[in-house]
Structure 1
Amino acid sequence: MANPDPKQEIINKLSRLLLPRASASDGKKEGERTLRFLKERCIAGRQIHFVLFEDKKGQQIHFTCYVEQNAVGDWQFRGAAGDGITGTPGPVVEQGWANLGGGGMPDHFYAGGYVADYGLDITHVRLIAKNGTVIEDTVENGIVLFLTDQPVALPIEAEIYDRDGKLVYKHRVLS
């Protein structure tokens, strides 16, 4: 089912997948209190949103959610990537690192996730696909999002840059 509001479409989908029915004690849906939108990127007819969900135990789970606009202008949930519970150990490295999830290759590429800074003042990340497509984003609150209308082929390399524009580290992502 589609919705004229892309954020509401994401709330509806994640609520159906993750949240129990309305609480008997207050009659409110859990999703009204537990879903937060932290960052978004938009191009014509397509959007990605970085969403944080908090479960009953207070654990936070993040998702990069992808929606597309249909022919009548409504938004449809098309996919999501998440990396489990926020704060759990990721790759053990002492360099800047982009821990990304995504999909939609080759023609509807999206990706997003957290950037490990390690005190290096990381400010932006550049993705370079095998076919030459380059996508960049600025780190905001430790988060990056990538969305393009260009074809993207694996493998993809992430380049991590500091405030001075110096390449700090590079590594493969989504492979």
Structure 2
Amino acid sequence: MELQPKQIIIDNIVDYCLSLREMQINTAFDSSMLLGGKVQEQIDALRQLAPPQGGLVDGQVVMDSIRFLKEHALPGRQLHVVMHRINRAGDMMLWTYEVGQMRDGTWHIDGASGGSVSQCYPLGGKAWVSLREGRCKGNPDVFYLSGTVIDAGHDVKRIRVITEDGVILEDVIEHGAVLLIAEQKIKQPLYAELYDRKGNLVGSHKALAENSSAHLN
């Protein structure tokens, strides 16, 4: 049975998180060897229960936390914005996955980029958007901005981003996330405008898109 794009992404995220957890266990093993501690007891304890403060979660917890926030279809490929837990402290990761379709109809991951979801909020209860920039591997003429919106009680429903050279990109916010598509290189700095469901401008700010800090594949 052929795996569909979302299932392929879920499997990839779980594998990624489990590899991080295994690295944590191996690091603890190396430390125990250096300190001459009871190695096997410590490793067994880590495998059964990750440390409560920031400890990496197991595969089932990761899988249950995965949320598909936005998607965009292109010829023969899809972009998906996905969020999931990374540890027991509740810290979240946000990825933009690019999934391509082969000639035989099967799907594969062409790449994914992202990073931790910022816990820093602007002062004064302002509506805000945090953006990351990316480029499609399978279609190098397509660029995108993805990220999360801080609503701050303003009922933000739509975002408009204006690039340095006057290109206007717009998107409707779904599940607190945005995915803006451009068919040319996105020139910074960017200027973001946030609108509520009545079309009122409720926030605006300069929005320098970060380069994604982590990559898969």
Aligning the two structures, in what range does the TM-score lie when normalised by the shorter sequence? Answer: 0.7 to 0.9
Answer yes or no: is the 8 Å Cα contact 2:14–2:63 preserved in 1.
no
1:35 matched to 2:69? The reply is no
Greater fraction helix: 2
Answer yes or no: is the 8 Å Cα contact 1:52–1:60 preserved in 2.
no
Decide which moves more: 116-125 or 51-60.
51-60
CA distance, structure 2, for counterparts of residue 101 and residue 35 of structure 1: 19
1:17/1:92 CA distance change after superposition, 3 Å: farther
Deviations 1:128-172 (A, max 9, x none): 223443321112232222234x11322132221222323332322
The structure number with the bigger radius of gyration is: 2
Greater fraction strand: 1
Structure 2: stretches of 5+ with no match in the other structure: 23-46, 49-57, 211-217
1:8 matched to 2:36? The reply is no
CA distance, structure 2, for counterparts of residue 50 and residue 108 of structure 1: 16
Answer yes or no: is the 8 Å Cα contact 1:127–1:136 preserved in 2.
yes
1:93/1:104 CA distance change after superposition, 3 Å: farther
Q: Which residue matches 2:92? A: 61
Pairing of 1:55-134 with structure 2 (within 5 A): 55-57=86-88, 59-72=90-103, 73=105, 74-84=107-117, 88-92=119-123, 94-104=125-135, 107-134=141-168
Structure 1: stretches of 5+ with no match in the other structure: none
Q: CA deviation at 1:125?
A: 0.3
CA distance, structure 2, for counterparts of residue 147 and residue 94 of structure 1: 28
CA distance, structure 1, for counterparts of residue 87 and residue 149 of structure 2: 26
Q: CA deviation at 1:174?
A: 0.4
Counterpart amino acid of 1:80?
S
CA RMSD of aligned residues (A): 3.1
Pairing of 1:17-28 with structure 2 (within 5 A): 17-20=16-19
CA distance, structure 2, for counterparts of residue 9 and residue 160 of structure 1: 33
1:92/1:18 CA distance change after superposition, 3 Å: farther
1:50 matched to 2:81? The reply is yes
Q: Which residue matches 2:207? A: 172
Runs of 4+ in structure 1 deviating by more than 6 angstroms, as ranges, are none
Identity of aligned residues (%): 30
Aligned length: 167
- Superposition TM-score, scaled by structure 2 size: 0.62
CA distance, structure 2, for counterparts of residue 159 and residue 121 of structure 1: 13
CA distance, structure 2, for counterparts of residue 40 and residue 61 of structure 1: 19
CA distance, structure 1, for counterparts of residue 110 and residue 10 of structure 2: 10
For residue 207 of structure 2, give the secondary structure of its aligned residue in structure 1.
Answer: strand
CA distance, structure 2, for counterparts of residue 76 and residue 131 of structure 1: 32
Q: Which residue matches 1:146? A: 180
1:13/1:147 CA distance change after superposition, 3 Å: farther
